[in-house]
Chain A
Amino acid sequence: MNMVLGAFAQVLSVKMLLIMILGSFVGIVFGAIPGLTYSMGIILLLPLTFHLPPLMAVTLLLGVYIGGMTGGSVSSILLGIPGTPSAAATCLDGFPLSKRGMAGKALGTALISSIFAGLLSVATLMVVAPIVAKFALKFGPAEIFSLVFFGFSTICGISMGNVLKGLISGFIGLLFTTIGIDPVMGMSRYTFGIGQLISGVDLLAFMIGMFAIPQVIKILSVDESLLTRKISAKVSTQYPSLQELKRMFGLMVKCAFIGIGIGAIPGTGGPIAAFLGYDQAKRKTKNNEPALEGVAGPESANNGVTGGALIPMLTLGIPGDPATAILLGALLIHGLKPGPMLFTQHADFIYGMYAALIVIHLIVLLMQGFGIQLFVKVLNFRKSYLYTTILVLCTIGAFAVNNNEFDIYVMVFAGFLGYFLLKFGFPVAPTVLALVLGPPMEENFRRALILSQGNFWIFLQSPISWFFYLATIFVLVGQVRRSLLAAKVRKGS
């Protein structure tokens, strides 16, 4: 108990508070601006951390991580462009909601789901980290494959009723994931003679392009004067009511745990959890109308990932997702080695970190909470100015991921592709989902077979795999039933 109090005392010092505020602020900003991600924020602040004592260094970066994961929902909801890949699923219902004037409610729901799930994940981290870590280790390539395969099946859930079109979009996306060096053997595929394609198509650039560019084109090409209708401030900034929140509570808890689980499994991360969370939300509402649940689900899931990813990072030194990989590096630079030793030899650091995590969530809640009033004003800008600026921001974002000019071309290509997909009536989200899930699917599938040396039974060997395959069948059956029912209803009316 003393330890815990000591930790809080440590964390509530002026310096620490300033650091947490700085980190959270950078995180929220980077998360909220389309094109910039929290990983970038972490990398930018990394040099600052060299000269800070370990706890402050890690706290700063954690602030960015959590702020970023939470802030990603802002641009997803207001602009329909995911602020970070983990927020891609939040666009699906978030953006339509904001177009209908419910931006405030959507943002509020996203924020509360995020913080709630984040705190839940920290609690899990504190209490059962070693157990979760051990369980996560049971996920070998075959099991991860089954998980990702299941994730892919949720494509049906986000195709808005037209499974076939969703599958087509999704598989087009899969086709693009085959570009580049084959993940297992290192052989070049489909580079069409373009050197820069050797590392494949960058997910972030592609995603930014696909979501943002069609909108930019649209705004630039329609009559501006018809767009400038001011939003009644009162409606937009309404927060979600207590009743609405209570309704979504169970969903938030469920999705938080989905996030925690996925975060804990090395090799998977935010976007997968977010899409699964979205699928859960849609399952709950049982219709295809945009609803607050559709925001609560993905946002709980992606913030659940933050605590979850810290579990294998701290207990085993295995990063659960790319951002934690950098955090891990920061720890190593300060001479702190993850593993059971960290918990025994540096207990004060660990407890300090837990306390910091909790306080960071509260800071983010306050910052973003007050920020909502401000953010919503963005919707009042003249669309032409806004979207032109967005075009510029997206090119910066696409470039800044890898400092590679080629990625900007990728963004534009994805944008044009997205525009045509939409023009022809095909959904764009499955394509992005495919880019997220394609590589781990192929990688783990083949790695599993290498391990088993060609024996296909490896895929059915573990109860974990069985669970996910059965879940997939369940999902597909339900999906088909739903679309048949919908067709029947349409016929009847």
Chain B
Amino acid sequence: MKKERYFSVLVLGLCAFWFLNSRSIPPATMPGAPGPKFFPYLVMGCLAVFALIQLALSFRSPKIPTSTPVSIPTLSPLEGKVEERDETEEGQEGGCVDPDDLVPDRRSLIAAFLLILLYVVGIDLVGFYPATIPAVFFGLLIAMKGKTPWHKLVLPTALITVAVYGVFTFALKVNLPAGKLW
């Protein structure tokens, strides 16, 4: 299948990248023991082999016809295969709708990535609280997708920030990043 093919290629690329960076590692100086290059080479080698096998397998057409016509890629953190969910049963009995069964909206997806990236850079540059306040605000904004007017999100933002402050800085006295710009 296509996605496995792409991924295998990426993995092979990763191995190559790692290999190129190995050249600067000095050889072993302790008698008898393998040096610092041994383990990385071993891992790279095995990984490359696995990726090649995966690549080969991805060209094989799936022999087993899937029972559901649409396979939604799941984002459960731990399952590695495509899951076929039977929505009717679980939905009724008190389980929540699994977010993994919903398809993300492309714009929000990109926005989410950007937000997280900018948030972290922000923490580094301006400090934790100055970065968190806009991050939470925009995070909520993205999540609500225009369904909630922005001014209604101000209060939750403030509450979350104050709660975090209260618990971490005030009560637990946890050190939080101070920001490089000042």
Which A residues have a C-beta under 8 Å from some C-beta of B? 40, 44, 80, 91-92, 95-96, 99-101, 158-162, 164-169, 171-172, 174-175, 178, 182, 184-185, 187, 189-190, 192, 210-211, 213-227, 229, 231-232, 234-236, 379, 383-385, 387-389, 391-393, 395-396, 399-400, 403, 405, 408-409, 411-412, 415-416, 418-419, 422-429, 442, 445-447, 449-450, 452-455, 490-491
Contact = CB atoms under 8 A, between A and B. Distances in A.
Contact of B143 (A384, A399, A419): A384
Nearest to A429: B78
A425 B96 contact: no
B30 A450 contact: yes
B150 interface: no
Interface in B8-26: 11, 14-15, 18, 21-22, 25-26
B30 A171 contact: no
A383 B140 CA distance: 10
B31 to A, nearest CB: 6
B104 interface: yes
B149 interface: no
Interface residues of B, number: 92
Nearest to B71: A425
A143 B72 CA distance: 44
Interface in B140-182: 140, 142-145, 147, 156, 160, 164, 168, 172-177
A164 B79 contact: no
A424 B108 contact: no
Nearest to A403: B175
B145 to A, nearest CB: 6
Interface in B21-37: 21-22, 25-26, 28-36
Contacts of B18: 175, 178, 190
B36 to A, nearest CB: 4
Given A101-B93, A423-B75, A453-B32, 19 more contacts: A100-B90, A101-B96, A167-B46, A169-B80, A175-B44, A216-B112, A217-B113, A218-B75, A222-B99, A227-B96, A232-B93, A385-B140, A391-B119, A395-B120, A396-B164, A408-B123, A412-B120, A422-B73, A445-B39
B52 to A, nearest CB: 11
Contact of A222 (B73, B103, B124): B103
Among A185, A388, A408, which residue has the most Cβ atoms of chain B within 10 A?
A388
A189 to B, nearest CB: 5
A338 to B, nearest CB: 29
B107 to A, nearest CB: 9
Contact of B174 (A222, A396, A455): A396
Contacts of B140: 384-385, 388
Given A168-B54, A184-B33, A214-B75, A236 B82 contact: no
Contacts of B30: 184-185, 450
Contact of A388 (B6, B50, B78, B139): B139
A452 B34 CA distance: 12
Contacts of B44: 175
B47 A189 contact: no
Contact of B50 (A100, A168, A190, A403): A168
Interface string B51-94: 10110010000011000000001111111111000000011011
A424 B105 contact: no
Contact of B40 (A100, A189, A387): A189
Contacts of B94: 101, 231-232, 234-236
A399 B53 CA distance: 39
A184 B28 CA distance: 10
B176 A399 contact: yes
Contact of B99 (A218, A395, A423, A491): A218
A428 B172 CA distance: 32
A13 B36 CA distance: 55
Contacts of B35: 185
A214 B78 CA distance: 11
A424 B77 contact: no
Nearest to B125: A405
Given A101-B95, A159-B80, A192-B21, A221 B123 contact: no
A427 B78 contact: yes
Contacts of B117: 412
Contact of A425 (B4, B93, B139): B4
Contact of A185 (B3, B28, B113, B160): B28
